[in-house]
C-alpha cells in the first residue's frame, strides 16, 4: 500500500503544474460546445455565458495563486501581438501657435477605422439577410465558446450605451435644476426624472422599431464628414507623429471633433445593426432565436436620441461661447424725442452695433447715450457724465464713434478683470502642499476653467479644473476681448505660480493690455515688457519639440514634448537673475574732464 500511495507524491514531477485544473477547464469547454448545439435561443446563451465568465474568473484566481504555463504563454502571445501593432500608436501634442504652419494630415488609423466599421455593418446586414431568425446559428455550428465571448462583448456594449444614455441627460437636467433651485434637496426630482425617462424609453422601444435611430446614426456620420472636409484656419490643432523619425503633422481641432463624432456614429450603427437587425422595420418574429439581444439593442437605440440632443446642446453652447467669435457691442439709446431716438438707432445699426432703446433698462454691459438737442451735447467734453449726451449730428462724427468704442472696451475690460479676480479667489483654495501653480487660458473654447498643476504630481495628464467654469464667471464679450489681446500679443497660455497675488497678476496683465492698445495688436509680448512689474518674475517660453523649459530657480511646468505653445510664466521674484551679465567696468582710473569754472580755466 505504501508503494501504491507513493505514486501520488510523484505526480507533480511527472505532470506539469496545474494539469488537473487545465484538464477540468478543457472538459468544461468541450461540454459547453456540446451543450451549445442544443440551446434554442440567446436566453440559454445567457446562462452559458455566465458559466463561461465563472470559468474565466476561476482561471484568473488559480493563475494568481499558482501560475499556469498555458495562461502565461497566452499572455506572452498577447504582449507580442500588441508590440507588433505598435505602428498604430502615435505621439501627440497640442499646437496653439500655428506658426510656422505644419502639414495638415489625418492619421491613417482614422480611415482604417472607418473601413472596419463599414465592413462590420455590411457583414451584420448580410448575416441578418441570410438568417432572418438570428445569426446565432453561425456560432452554434462553428465555435460556441467564441460566439459566447462575442455575445458578451455585444451585450456589454449595449448595456454601456443604455447606462450612458440614461444618466447623461439626467446629469444635464441636474445641472439645470441646481442653477434654478440652488442647494435645495433635488433627490426626489432626480429619482422621478430617472424613472420617468427610463419608462418612456422602454415604452417607445417596445412599440417602435429602431430603424429611425439607425438612419439617424448615418445622418450624423454624414454630417460629421461634411464638417470634416472643408479646409479652415483654426487657432488650435492636434499634433501627431508615428515615431521620432517621422515628420510632425497637424489636425485642426475642428476636424478632430468631427472625426470623433463620425466614428462614434458609425460604431453605434454597426453595434445596433448587429444586435437588432432582424426587427428594424417590424415587431419580433415568432421564430426569433435572439429576442433578448434584439430587445437590449432596441432599448439602447432609443437612448441615443437623448444623447444626441445633449451633444447638440453642448456643441451649440461651445459655438456661441467661442471666444474667437466677435459679438457686436450694444448701444442703449434714451431721449425725449422718439423720432431722434429711431434715427440714432439706424445710425448705430450702420456701425454694426446692436441697439437697445428706452424704455428698456440699460444693462451693465451696454454703452449708454442720450439723444438731446445740439446745445446740450457733451460729446466733446473731457470728463462727461455717462450716459453721454449727444445730438444726431454728433453721431455722424468719427471721433464720437471712436469714443463710444473706447467706452465699450473699457467696460468689457473691467468685466474681464473682475471675473478673473473671482476665479483667482476661488482657485487659490486648491493650492497643493508642495507648491505648483495654475493654468489660465480664458481665450480658448476647449478650456473650461482654471487648471491646476501640483509640483508633487507625477501624472502627465491634463491638469484638473479648479473653481467655476469661465462661462459662469466671465461674460461672453469679456472672453472675446481676452482672445483679441492674448492672440495679438502671442500669449497662448499663462502659468501662475502659487504665492503670486491677484494684484501682481493684474499688473502683469495690464502690461499685455497696454501693449495691445499702444501697438494696435501688431507687437508680441516679450520678457522685457514686464521688467517694471514688482514682486514677480515674468518669463516667456515657446514650447516646441526639442525645446523644453529648464530652470534651476523656478518650477518647471509639465508639457507634452510634441506641443507648440507660447507660455507666459508669472513666478514669485526670487531676487536672482538667470541671465549672464558682463563684469562691471572699473571707472576709478578713467580720466574725467575738470568741472567748468575750476581753477586753471
| pLDDT digit string, tens, across residues 509-566 | 999 999 999 988 889 999 999 988 888 899 998 888 777 777 767 777 777 678 889 9
Between 115-119, 303-307, 354-358, 592-596, the lowest mean confidence (pLDDT) is in 592-596
Between 42-46, 388-392, 418-422, 432-436, the lowest mean confidence (pLDDT) is in 432-436
Instruction: Give CA separation, 31 vs 25, 36, 56, 424, in Å.
Output: 10, 8, 15, 66
The yes-or-no verdict on residue 3 having pLDDT over 90 is no
pLDDT band at 13 (very low <50, low <70, confident <90, very high): very low
pLDDT at 181: 67
Strand order in the sheet with 565-572: 465-469, 449-454, 436-440, 493-497, 565-572, 536-543
Sequence-ordered alpha helix ranges (H) in 103-210:
108-130, 136-140, 144-181, 187-207
| Arithmetic mean of pLDDT, 490-516 | 92
| pLDDT digit string, tens, across residues 184-202 | 667 777 788 888 888 888 8
pLDDT at 428: 80
Q: Are 409 and 420 in contact (CB under 8 A)?
A: no
* Pairing status of strand 249-252 against strand 493-497: unpaired
| pLDDT digit string, tens, across residues 124-163 | 999 988 888 888 888 888 889 999 999 999 999 999 999 9
In order, the DSSP letters of 365-409 are: TSEEEEE--GGG--TT-SSPPSSEEE-TTGGGSHHHHHHHHHHHH
Between 38-42, 44-48, 142-146, 352-356, the lowest mean confidence (pLDDT) is in 38-42
**Higher per-residue pLDDT: 578 or 410:** 410
pLDDT at 182: 66
pLDDT at 64: 87
The yes-or-no verdict on residue 274 having pLDDT over 90 is yes
**Higher per-residue pLDDT: 19 or 216:** 216
What percent of the chain has a predicted confidence (pLDDT) above 70? 88
pLDDT at 10: 43
pLDDT at 552: 67
SS3 453: strand
pLDDT at 591: 52
Give the integer Cα–Cα distance in Å for 535 and 527.
15
pLDDT at 349: 93
| pLDDT digit string, tens, across residues 212-257 | 999 999 999 999 999 988 876 667 899 988 877 788 889 999 899 9
Closest CA to 469 of 175, 203, 71, 194: 175
Q: Residue holding cell 473706447?
A: 406
Q: What is the pTM of this model?
A: 0.82
Q: Are 525 and 533 in contact (CB under 8 A)?
A: no
pLDDT at 588: 53
Amino acid at each position: 500500500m505504501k508503494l501504491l500511495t507513493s505514486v501520488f507524491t510523484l505526480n507533480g514531477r511527472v505532470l506539469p503544474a496545474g494539469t488537473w485544473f487545465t484538464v477540468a477547464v478543457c472538459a468544461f469547454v468541450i461540454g459547453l460546445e456540446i451543450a451549445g448545439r442544443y440551446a434554442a435561443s440567446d436566453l440559454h446563451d445567457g446562462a452559458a455565458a455566465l458559466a463561461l465568465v465563472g470559468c474565466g474568473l476561476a482561471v484568473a484566481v488559480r493563475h494568481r495563486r499558482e501560475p499556469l504555463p498555458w495562461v502565461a504563454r497566452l499572455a506572452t502571445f498577447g504582449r507580442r501581438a500588441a508590440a507588433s501593432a505598435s505602428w498604430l500608436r502615435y505621439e501627440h501634442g497640442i499646437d496653439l501657435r500655428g506658426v510656422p504652419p505644419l502639414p495638415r494630415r489625418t492619421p491613417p488609423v482614422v480611415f482604417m477605422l472607418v473601413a472596419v466599421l463599414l465592413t462590420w455593418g455590411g457583414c451584420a446586414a448580410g448575416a441578418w439577410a441570410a438568417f432572418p431568425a438570428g445569426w446565432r446559428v453561425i456560432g452554434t455550428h462553428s465555435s460556441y465558446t467564441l460566439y459566447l465571448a462575442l455575445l458578451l462583448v455585444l451585450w456589454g456594449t449595449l448595456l454601456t450605451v443604455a447606462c450612458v444614455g440614461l444618466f447623461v441627460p439626467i446629469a444635464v437636467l441636474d445641472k439645470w435644476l441646481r442653477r434654478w433651485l440652488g442647494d435645495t434637496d433635488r433627490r426626489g426630482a432626480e429619482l422621478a426624472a430617472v424613472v420617468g425617462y427610463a419608462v418612456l424609453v422602454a415604452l417607445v422601444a417596445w412599440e417602435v422599431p429602431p430603424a429611425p435611430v439607425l438612419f439617424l446614426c448615418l445622418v450624423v456620420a454624414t454630417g460629421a464628414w461634411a464638417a470634416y472636409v472643408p479646409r479652415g484656419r483654426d487657432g488650435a490643432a492636434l499634433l501627431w507623429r508615428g515615431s521620432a523619425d517621422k515628420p510632425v503633422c497637424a489636425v485642426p481641432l475642428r476636424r478632430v471633433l468631427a472625426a470623433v463624432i463620425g466614428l462614434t456614429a458609425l460604431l453605434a450603427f454597426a453595434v445596433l445593426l448587429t444586435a437588432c437587425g432582424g426587427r428594424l422595420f417590424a415587431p419580433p418574429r415568432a421564430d426569433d432565436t435572439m429576442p433578448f439581444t434584439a430587445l437590449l439593442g432596441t432599448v439602447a437605440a432609443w437612448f441615443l436620441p437623448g444623447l444626441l440632443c445633449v451633444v447638440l446642446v453642448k456643441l451649440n453652447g461651445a459655438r456661441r461661447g467661442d471666444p474667437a467669435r466677435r459679438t457686436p457691442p450694444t448701444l442703449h439709446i434714451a431721449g425725449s424725442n422718439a423720432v431722434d431716438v429711431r434715427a440714432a438707432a439706424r445710425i448705430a445699426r450702420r456701425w454694426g452695433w446692436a441697439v437697445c432703446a428706452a424704455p428698456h433698462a440699460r444693462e451693465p454691459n451696454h454703452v449708454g447715450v442720450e439723444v438731446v438737442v445740439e446745445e446740450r451735447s457733451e460729446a466733446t467734453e473731457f470728463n462727461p457724465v455717462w450716459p453721454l449726451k449727444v445730438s444726431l449730428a454728433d453721431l455722424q462724427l468719427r471721433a464720437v464713434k471712436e469714443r463710444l468704442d473706447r467706452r465699450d472696451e473699457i467696460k468689457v475690460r473691467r468685466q474681464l478683470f473682475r471675473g478673473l479676480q473671482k476665479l483667482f479667489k476661488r482657485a487659490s483654495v486648491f493650492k497643493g502642499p508642495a507648491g505648483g501653480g495654475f493654468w489660465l487660458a480664458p481665450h480658448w473654447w476647449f478650456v473650461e476653467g482654471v487648471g491646476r498643476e501640483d509640483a508633487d504630481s507625477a501624472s502627465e495628464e491634463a491638469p484638473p479644473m479648479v473653481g467655476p467654469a469661465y462661462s459662469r464667471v466671465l461674460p461672453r464679450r469679456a472672453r472675446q476681448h481676452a482672445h483679441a489681446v492674448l492672440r495679438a500679443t502671442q500669449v497662448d497660455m499663462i502659468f501662475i505660480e502659487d504665492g503670486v497675488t491677484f494684484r501682481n497678476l493684474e499688473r502683469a496683465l495690464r502690461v499685455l493690455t497696454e501693449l495691445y492698445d499702444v501697438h494696435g495688436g501688431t507687437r508680441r509680448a516679450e520678457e522685457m515688457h514686464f521688467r517694471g512689474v514688482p514682486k514677480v518674475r515674468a518669463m516667456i517660453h515657446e514650447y516646441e519639440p526639442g525645446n523644453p523649459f529648464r530652470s534651476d530657480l523656478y518650477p518647471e511646468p509639465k508639457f507634452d514634448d510634441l506641443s507648440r505653445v507660447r507660455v507666459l510664466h508669472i513666478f514669485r521674484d526670487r531676487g536672482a537673475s538667470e541671465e549672464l551679465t558682463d563684469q562691471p567696468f572699473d571707472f576709478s582710473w578713467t580720466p574725467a574732464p575738470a568741472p567748468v569754472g575750476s581753477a586753471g580755466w
